[in-house]
Amino acid sequence: MRIGLRDKVVVPVPRDVWCFPRAFQVAQLLARAGIRSRALRRTLQFYARDQAFHRGSPLRVEFVRFTGDTFSMFDLLQPPPDRTAILLRVLARGLPPRIAEEEIGDALEFRERGLAAGLPLWELRLGVAAKVFWALVHTLGHFLKSVTGR
Amino acid sequence: MESPLNARAVLLSMLMDGKGYGLDLIDRARKRTRGKVTLNEGSVYPALRAMEEEGLLKSFPSEPIPERGGRPRRYYELTAEGRRVARDHAKTAFALLPPPAVVR
């Protein structure tokens, strides 16, 4: 059974599941329903881990709904959280403002453009890694300059 | 006189066309030279900052842009002195070319 991220999935829930299922329960439920899509399972497990019912969060996780003794998983058009972008944003907090604004901003923009242009993921990752490497080198240079004055 | 084909000279030449920011200047250089000149981040950003400190460029931020995580772009543009230096670089680069052969 092949299921894409655009498919709506309804999985029967055992009566003893009284709260949002944990990651291993999601895996069990999907396996029991005969769903073998790894991408779908990973996406759901990621959300199940810690973002259940955070309806007001920026991720708008609203795709799990209890309806009697079933819950529906829907709205899977919502992409999984962009971990690279999150990592870059966290990294940017530790960098001097000018470098964070300019170099990390460019890395994020490069990635967005690449995704829109359909560049292969390895190429995007390589490009972003190079930009982050240079941002770190320039940060080191910035601190050395502020210490030595040269 | 420094080499007419270093990162600084290429950046000054790209900025002759108008303001630009780091990523955009790297793209412009690659497109204009059809991939023959590829600037890397290791040289571009320090060169831009150094030229700004030397008064060849001035920079200003744009409005925050969502695809940059809400960060603004930092645009650079040539000052009058920067424009003069950019023209000098261009003249030197032209001077290195062999004179065109006249075919009759």
The whole-number mean pLDDT for each consecutive block of 10 residues of chain B, a chain of 104 residues, reads 71 92 92 86 92 94 87 93 91 78 68
Q: What is the pLDDT of residue A50?
A: 41
**Chain B contact present for A81, CB below 8 A:** no
Chain B hits for A105, Cβ within 8 Å: 65, 68-69, 71-74
Higher-pLDDT residue of A3 and A118 is: A118
Nearest CA in chain A to B72: A101
Give yes or no for A115 touching B (CB within 8 A). Answer: no
Confidence of residue A26 (pLDDT cuts 50, 70, 90): low
Q: Tokens 């290791």 sit at which residue? A: B42
Whether B71 and A105 lie within 8 Å, measured CB to CB:
yes
What does the DSSP 8-state code read for residue A6? T
Q: Note whether B69 contacts A134, CB cutoff 8 Å.
A: no
Q: Which among A120, A149, A1, A8 has a CA at the least distance from the CA of A75?
A: A8
- Identify which of A98, A109, A131 has the shortest CB distance to residue B67: A109
Q: Using CA of residue A139, residue A140, residue A141, residue A145, what is the dihedral sign?
A: positive
Q: Which residue in chain B has the smallest CA separation from A99? A: B45
Asked if B41 and A102 come within 8 Å (Cβ–Cβ), the reply is no
Q: Which residue has the higher pLDDT, A41 or B86?
A: B86
**Is the CB of residue A123 less than 8 Å away from at least one CB of chain B?**
no
Distance CA B54, CA A61 (A): 50
Supply the pTM of this predicted model: 0.64
